[in-house]
Amino acid sequence: MKKYYERYKHAIPLLIYAVIYCTWFAYLEKKVVHPETIIHMKVDDVIPFCEIFVIPYFLWFAYVSAAVAYCFFKNKQEYFKTCVFLFTGMTLFLIISTLWPNGHHLRPYVMPRNNIFTALISHLYNVDTPTNLWPSIHVYNSIGAHLAVVHTPSLARNKKIRTGSFILCTSIILSTVFIKQHSMFDVLTAFMLSGTMYVVVYQADIVGACQARRPGIKRRRTV
């Protein structure tokens, strides 16, 4: 057991944060019913409703999970960077949603078509309220997952994986506005936050800097 603990103990922060995030988010979903802050941009009114984008929207769950899991098992350094990137943005999202409860009125009252994709969106609407939107975690975490791919050497060397990740990341970002889950404002602010965290996590390498300050810890180059 001690051998497995030493090998996988870096999962502990992830598990603890998952409990904290899910509990906090569930509380907000119940508390925020009629938010005072309504998010809207003029461009939202000209973006068409396109139900087929529900596919990449749902693929987000597998995409982000796969990126984190791969780094967890194959590249601990990139795993820590990915966790810092994701956790920081998700925590800021929770704080914003708590202090400034927000929502939107973009969802169609009646589905324009009747097919399997609109059925999936109707189910999504039923379980996910149009509240707690800013910035879009779907957008932010998708960018985080793609950054994990392109900064993990074993993945980055594979052109098909890099290209596939970029296409999926882009599709997920587009899906948030095409199925009316988010305003363009949520998307833009997610990009701004991602840019800031990219500088902190990948250019300034805050993870490596923190590890270098720990006594007895030597940084190793990952391949």
pLDDT digits (tens, 9 = 90+) for 152-166: 999 999 999 999 999
pLDDT of residue 5: 72
Average pLDDT, stretch 102-126? 95
How far apart are alpha carbons 167 and 161 in whole angstroms? 10
Q: Cα(33)–Cα(23) distance, rounded to whole angstroms?
A: 17
The answer to whether residue 42 sits within a structural domain is yes
d(CA 101, CA 36): 7
33 falls within a domain: yes
Average pLDDT over residues 102-118: 95
**What residues make up the domain containing 199?**
2-213
- Give 102's strand partners: 37
Nearest-angstrom CA–CA distance, 92 and 134: 10
In a domain, 187, yes or no: yes
Q: pLDDT, tens digit, for every residue of 84-109?
A: 999 999 999 999 999 999 999 999 99
Tell me if 25 is assigned to some domain.
Answer: yes
Beta bridge partners of 149: none
Q: What's the pTM?
A: 0.92
The answer for residues whose C-beta is within 8 angstroms of residue 70's C-beta and 6 or more apart is: 148, 152, 155
Dump pLDDT digits (tens) for 183-215.
999 999 999 999 999 999 999 888 878 877 766
